[in-house]
Amino acid sequence: MSDTIFSKIIRREIPADIVYEDNDVLAFRDLNPQAPVHVLFIPRQPMPTLNDATAADAELLGKLLLAAAAYAKQEGFAEQGYRTVVNCNEDGGQTVFHLHVHLLAGRRLHWPPG
């Protein structure tokens, strides 16, 4: 896998506004926020896209979503609502090829998203 900006954030080579971390997941504020709250949850273990996940990654994928939900509850917007998004490959809007979950909140989110 190529070295991405997210890999550099994990290694602390690039600064980021980190809001959550554990042994498997790191979360930080998006530099180009699309909502008042826009946080990216990434696995420490590199995985380019959701297409690269296997059944063996089910626990890690669950940890990403559970970390996002825990953050939403901790920050007090879980009951009001939020959105989680995983973009996959270029046509899906993925620009950094290290799997990540976007957590968007802080305003009414419309559907369809784009």
**Active-site residue set:** 100
Q: How far is CA 16 from CA 7, 10, 62, 87, in A?
A: 12, 9, 23, 21
The alpha carbon dihedral of 106, 108, 113, 114 has a sign of negative
CA dist 47 and 43 (Å) reads: 8
Which residue type sits at 6?
F
Contact 101, 84 (CB under 8 A): yes
**C-alpha closest to that of 27 among 12, 11, 10:** 10
